[in-house]
Structure 1
């Protein structure tokens, strides 16, 4: 079955992971306490704070306690959905103020442009919130690339190392899993996508990972041609 759709990860796949860990995360950490205190009553932030309290099993936790937990999650790189949502909201100001632009590998930019022109549908699946994804591509090094994409998925859809998430994505897109090519630099994510019936490709941006058998491998988008996938 021919590939009609490409689903891509961000960190380590389209984007240097150092941009996330050395630019975005420190920015969010520095601005999170003031942002949360200033916006605690707004619906989006209030909902995130309730989720943190539920995770702590402390429904009456004070705001400082919640902020401390959010900062601890940042420090431990915990992929908690309320944290990801808040980070996305904080990064809005950074992008809009021009404090940084969204890093994209040149080969990833060229590949996404090429596939879009070929008529392939492009989607994103990242542990970062949908808002954060849209910001990165909307304020990318190459300008606003959001018109290239048909949709975005985050951990609200499911965990990236569980096949159920990929089943959910295929169902949401309305495309058979066999027609979807998933790109990632993380083997367990590729394993989960493959278990859901998707075709897979490992992006090796650094060291060659272990246990990558069963997945197509490359170090550049230039060598990926979804239209010719069997």
Structure 2
């Protein structure tokens, strides 16, 4: 049965919702991991790189004069822990942006995703992304995909830096403000993580859980949230 919702905004998670979690945790992480050290050393005059290195040292308790190898060891540990650390996300975003621009990286989504995104956009719905990955990395990932450049489908991008933690309701209130303060009930959030849906619902949003076969949260308890297996099971109409 196809579920029908009415909304003005559709806000989307990425991992486990638009693309397989493995595409990020294996594909993108493996691309960034060996490039972190060389990227830091090759961009000594970059304010973003200097700031990311300084914040990494501060968060990890490293000495101010710690070398690149010590900083990278921390970054690699954070990657292994899947820690949503802002300086790591900033550096990954820079590296991924270069990878997509060079054609070394190409994004591929679940088969039901791109058609649904285009249909929602054509129907007058405004699309946005809320992911733990840095905004720069998000935009880059949509710029070079197996379906072409999809960046024009999205009006706004949010991450844990410009919005806040994905499992806390104030982050979704901040995004509502960033979208121009629509009625929260006119915003629908799609994610595979129940705790994120709980936070969005607390902020007054409509929520849809993605229980995709083979993904980490496929068998999770989504509680009272609407749950679908693919976007084909969902119809969102412009309010």
Q: TM-score, normalised by structure 1?
A: 0.94
Figure out how many residues of one structure are paired with residues of the other and give that number: 229
1:21 aligns with 2:25: yes
Structure 2 distance, partners of 1:125, 1:152, is 6
1:171 aligns with 2:177: yes
1:197 aligns with 2:220: no
Aligned counterpart for 1:56 among listed residues 47, 60, 75: 60
SS of corresponding position for 1:211:
coil
CA-based RMSD: 1.7
Provide Cα deviations, 1:65-118, integer angstroms capped at 9, x if missing partner.
Answer: 222111111122111111011001111222222223012122110110000000
CA contact (8 A) 1:202 1:218 kept: yes
Q: Give 4+ residue runs of structure 1 displaced > 6 Å after superposition.
A: none
Higher helix share: 1
Report the counterpart of residue 46 of structure 2 in structure 1: 42
CA contact (8 A) 2:32 2:96 kept: yes
CA contact (8 A) 1:128 1:154 kept: yes
Aligned counterpart for 2:155 among listed residues 146, 150, 155: 150
Structure 2 distance, partners of 1:89, 1:119, is 32
Report the counterpart of residue 213 of structure 1 in structure 2: 223
Unaligned segments of structure 1, at least 5 residues: none
Structure 2 distance, partners of 1:212, 1:92, is 34
Higher strand share: 2
Aligned positions of 1:78-97 closer than 5 A: 78-97=83-102
Q: TM-score, normalised by structure 2?
A: 0.91
Provide Cα deviations, 1:148-189, integer angstroms capped at 9, x if missing partner.
Answer: 100100011100011111010001112121110000011101
- For structure 1, which segment, 96-105 or 138-147, has the greater mean C-alpha deviation from structure 2 after superposition? 96-105
1:66 aligns with 2:68: no
